[in-house]
Amino acid sequence: MISLLLTACGGGGIIYVEPVGVRISPTAYTVVAGNSVTLTVTAQNTTIAWPTLSPDTEGTFTINGQQVIYTPPTIEGTYEFTVAARVDRSQTATALITVVVPKEIEFIENADGINEFVADGITRMPVRFTAEEVWTASISGNCDLNPVSGPAGDNTVNISCGSNDTGANRVVELIVSTNNDRQTRMVTQRPTPRARYTTIQYPGTTSTSNSIVGINNSGKVVGLSSAGYFLYDDGYTLDRYTLFARSSWRNVSVYGINNSGQVAGTFRDSGSMISGFLYDSEKEEHIEFASTRTESWATNIAVYGISDSGRVAGYFWNSNNSRCGVFLYDGKEDKMVLSRELPNCSGATGFHLEINNSGQMTGYYHYNERRGGSYGFLYDEEDGEDGRYTEIIPPGSTSPYDLIINDSGQIAGRFAIGARVYSFLYSNGSYILLDPPSSIDVTVHGINKSGQVAGTFRDSDNMNYGFLYNGGNYSVFNLPTPTDFTNADFLKINDSGQVTGTFDSGRRGFLYNGGNYAIFNPPGMTHSGVIEINDSGQVIGNFTYSDGSRHGFLYHDGRLIVIDPPGTSSFYFREINNSGQIVWGYDRQRARFLLEFE
């Protein structure tokens, strides 16, 4: 006689068969807990005598001829059912029986796949799941959970935790239970960023008389107070305020500050002539240039841009606005690099100009000689001894507008032919028509240093969609859920090709990053809007809860941080630099506070 040993997770019984050459079928099987599997045991001689079940065998089996009906334990896992010959124990056959337990609770992954959030007592992390019957939930750590119970079906619980000041990630455990199931989800609490709020207020003035004009990437702020324009430097030292306008200057107007700490603007001197100025905060040096240095007939000058190298760009006019021109001033060498009279200036409006950090600038304005007429140009300082001036004339149109330029000298803009609006990319002397599939009217919103263009278009159903143009290819922004990824607007693009904006008619904000989407949708909010994105991928915006309260948010590295400055009930973000410093205020028009995270 030949003995067969049956085991299940360490237990076994004895079966006698003869002779050697044992087989078992099937060799692998998956069974739902509580059910049985039928196994067939064969040998060269099929005469079998079955013994009684060994007391330590897990599960039970019964014998029916050459078949074993095995009922494994109800605990989820994989069990080995092995037979072996008594005379030659090397002769074995094994079946792997996998037991699965049906789940009444299934967690649903977040749209962005991220299960991390900031523990700051404000930010709420939603966790979605389905349950086949009523459920209860609990959370570990210094956290609150809402709701803690609910009905069968799709459900969402919101986790909010106190500040995590440990400086390291910590994990909390969410437990959801029904009568027949218990599932857990581990959620990571990121360290709480430490916010520092600074009121920008020149000494001796009231806070309401102060406003921020601009901030550079080093955190230098140019502002305006009742005492005049000032520079604020170093957020850690509150006495770093400098009034930089000379006492003889009147009607001072500041354009902004570059990343070298230079401020550009205009003023009226004692003789009522409007002149431009460049103030270098590092050298504490003032440079003035009169409008007459452009052309002898010029009486007015306006600064429209400053590059990081200190080149100042703008327009100039005569006394009755019948003549105008464009200039580029080099403060380092104190010379006019470009002074050029422009056509069709009488009655012209809507002057716009941009300068990049490569010595190139583009501009446009509207004139009244014919309805809808506009004039655009490009000046490339580095192209030859005197540079190169080019009129921007898209094919089929002589009226470009909304021109923007990147640091590579590429221009994106719009033009109209009849009632239809087109957009274009001008690169190395060639025009590329931006024409996404199914588009009618196309609007460009931004261009980065790589020549990627973000924009929107209207289709035949009068719906707006966002798109990214990259080297001849279009990515139209769309999501499987929510399905209403339409009416995209207010798009911004950074130098990494990340695009942010709003959709659903301005109700929700989003970030598009290489084919992946993040939706700025804090629980309980009714509207969210994006203000700006920096080159580090940090996005700032505002959103409104259903109770009407207004809040801010910072999105970075997969984290949505809800921001509520102390003592405020409603405020607006204005700007974020590449160092993550945020300028904000109580209304849309005036920003006077600085927010930084440590």
CA–CA distance, 361 with 328 (Å, rounded to integer)? 9
The two beta strands, 92-100 and 28-32, are parallel
Domain co-membership, 109 together with 96: no
So what's the pLDDT on residue 253? 93
In eight-state DSSP terms, residue 208 is: G
Q: Which residue has the tokens 């009416």?
A: 487
Domain co-membership, 84 together with 124: no
* DSSP letter string, 95-163: EEEEEE---SEEEE--TT---EEE-SSS--EEEEEEESS-EEEEE-SSEEEE-SEE-SEEEEEEEEE--
So what's the pLDDT on residue 302? 93
- The pTM score is 0.71
- Write the CA distances from 222 to 82, 130, 210, 357, 515, integer angstroms: 81, 53, 11, 20, 38
Q: Is residue 540, in this structure, part of any structural domain at all?
A: no
State phi, psi for 509 to the nearest 5 degrees.
-100, 160
Cβ neighbors of 266 (< 8 A, separation 6 or more) are 252, 253, 274, 275, 276, 277, 301, 302, 303
Q: Residue 567 burial (CB < 10 Å; 0-12/13-18/19+)?
A: exposed
Q: Is 55 left (phi over 0), alpha (psi -120 to 50) or beta?
A: alpha
The residue from 38, 69, 100 where one domain ends is 100
Residue 322: both structure tokens together: 């019948």
So what's the pLDDT on residue 110? 60
State phi, psi for 207 to the nearest 5 degrees.
-65, -35
CATH code for the domain in which residue 117 is found: 2.60.40.10
The two beta strands, 400-405 and 411-417, are antiparallel
Cβ neighbors of 106 (< 8 A, separation 6 or more) are 129, 130, 183
- Write the CA distances from 531 to 16, 368, 493, 572, 597, integer angstroms: 79, 34, 12, 9, 18
Residue 428: both structure tokens together: 């190395």
Domain co-membership, 54 together with 125: no
The residue from 51, 80, 100 where one domain ends is 100
Cβ neighbors of 354 (< 8 A, separation 6 or more) are 304, 305, 361, 362, 363, 403, 404, 405
CA–CA distance, 295 with 317 (Å, rounded to integer)? 9
pLDDT, tens digit, for every residue of 210-222? 999 999 999 999 9
Instruction: Decide: 540 and 573 in contact? Cβ < 8 Å.
Output: yes
CA–CA distance, 100 with 104 (Å, rounded to integer)? 13
Domain co-membership, 325 together with 306: yes
Residue ranges in the chain modelled with pLDDT below 50: 1-19, 45-56, 111-114, 235-238, 369, 480-483
CATH code for the domain in which residue 19 is found: 2.60.40.1080
Q: Is residue 358, in this structure, part of any structural domain at all?
A: no
Instruction: Decide: 131 and 104 in contact? Cβ < 8 Å.
Output: yes
Q: Is residue 496, in this structure, part of any structural domain at all?
A: no
Spatial strand order of the sheet with 105-108 comes to: 105-108, 125-131, 153-161, 143-146
Domain co-membership, 327 together with 304: yes
- Of 235, 183, 126, the C-alpha closest to 520 is 126
Please list the residues that pair with 279 across neighbouring strands. 263, 286
- Of 59, 44, 53, the C-alpha closest to 8 is 59
CA–CA distance, 303 with 264 (Å, rounded to integer)? 7
Domain co-membership, 56 together with 112: no
pLDDT, tens digit, for every residue of 512-550? 998 888 888 766 777 888 889 999 999 999 888 777 777
Please list the residues that pair with 542 across neighbouring strands. 529, 552
Domain co-membership, 254 together with 333: yes
Domain co-membership, 143 together with 174: yes
Q: Is residue 579, in this structure, part of any structural domain at all?
A: no
Q: Which residue has the tokens 């809402």?
A: 146
CA–CA distance, 307 with 407 (Å, rounded to integer)? 10
The dihedral sign for the CA sequence 83, 89, 91, 96: positive
Q: Is residue 249, in this structure, part of any structural domain at all?
A: yes
CA–CA distance, 105 with 533 (Å, rounded to integer)? 38
Instruction: Decide: 13 and 54 in contact? Cβ < 8 Å.
Output: yes
Instruction: Decide: 525 and 506 in contact? Cβ < 8 Å.
Output: no
Q: Is residue 133, in this structure, part of any structural domain at all?
A: yes
CA–CA distance, 470 with 557 (Å, rounded to integer)? 24
Instruction: Decide: 299 and 318 in contact? Cβ < 8 Å.
Output: yes
The residue from 36, 68, 100 where one domain ends is 100
State phi, psi for 352 to the nearest 5 degrees.
-145, 145
Please list the residues that pair with 144 across neighbouring strands. 160
Amino acid 409 reads G
State the total domains in the chain: 3
The CB density around residue 211, as the number of other CB atoms within 10 Å, is 16
Domain co-membership, 146 together with 72: no
Domain that holds residue 6: 2-100
In angstroms, what is the C-alpha Rg of the chain? 36
Instruction: Decide: 469 and 434 in contact? Cβ < 8 Å.
Output: yes
CA–CA distance, 256 with 119 (Å, rounded to integer)? 37
Q: Is residue 75, in this structure, part of any structural domain at all?
A: yes
In eight-state DSSP terms, residue 498 is: -
Domain co-membership, 296 together with 311: yes
CA–CA distance, 271 with 250 (Å, rounded to integer)? 10
CA–CA distance, 33 with 35 (Å, rounded to integer)? 6
Domain co-membership, 76 together with 63: yes
CA–CA distance, 357 with 431 (Å, rounded to integer)? 22
Residue 550: both structure tokens together: 């207004």
So what's the pLDDT on residue 365? 93
The dihedral sign for the CA sequence 534, 430, 413, 342: positive
Q: Is residue 6, in this structure, part of any structural domain at all?
A: yes
CA–CA distance, 250 with 240 (Å, rounded to integer)? 24
So what's the pLDDT on residue 239? 55
Domain co-membership, 282 together with 248: yes
